[in-house]
Amino acid sequence: MAADASAVQNVSLAIDTLDGAAVLPFWRAMLAHVTDEEGRLGDPHSRWSPIWFQQMDTPREQRNRIHVDVFVPDDQTQQRITATLAAGGRVVYDAEAPEWWTLADPEGNEVDIAVAVGREELWAAAQEQGTG
């Protein structure tokens, strides 16, 4: 097998921030990651690349809006939400609970925490009730 030099070699996620120390605990709790010696967040199971926080001197007039979807087992959802709130997060949308909640870090960057198991059953039940 020959290596394809045109293929993506490495991907990392950078979050623009004015105060990395304020948002890092939120993301560490939400993703259940650990902080490395360079201040990046890393997956303790090495499933994906590190996340780093790019220091911004001033807010940008136009910031890209992205959000992360984090799927967790249904029985771990409330524990993850509680840890994320304790780490400085806030719930910004919960109308779709218990399927998913949207939380934001101290600077407003959003992440959805969603159940990993049972989504199809929730959607099917909503279709049967005519609400989905």
Give residue limits of the domains in the chain. Answer: 13-57+66-129
Closest CA to 79 of 38, 46, 113: 113
- Average pLDDT of span 25-41: 92
Higher pLDDT among residues 6 and 76, named by residue: 76
Binning pLDDT at 50, 70 and 90, where does residue 38 land?
Answer: confident
Tell me what percent of the residues of the chain surpass a pLDDT of 70: 80
Q: Let me know: does 27 contact 14? Beta carbons within 8 Å.
A: no
Predicted structure pTM score:
0.69
Q: Let me know: does 50 contact 41? Beta carbons within 8 Å.
A: yes
* Residues ≥6 apart with Cβ < 8 Å to 32: 44, 80
Binning pLDDT at 50, 70 and 90, where does residue 47 land?
Answer: confident
Binning pLDDT at 50, 70 and 90, where does residue 45 land?
Answer: very high
What is the CATH code for 13-57+66-129?
3.10.180.10
pLDDT digits (tens, 9 = 90+) for 90-107: 999 999 998 889 999 998
Give the pairing of strands 90-93 and 100-104.
antiparallel
- The tokens for 81 are 């939400």
* Separation CA 38–CA 36 (nearest Å): 5
Higher pLDDT among residues 66 and 100, named by residue: 100
Give the pairing of strands 110-115 and 67-72.
parallel
Tell me what percent of the residues of the chain surpass a pLDDT of 90: 35
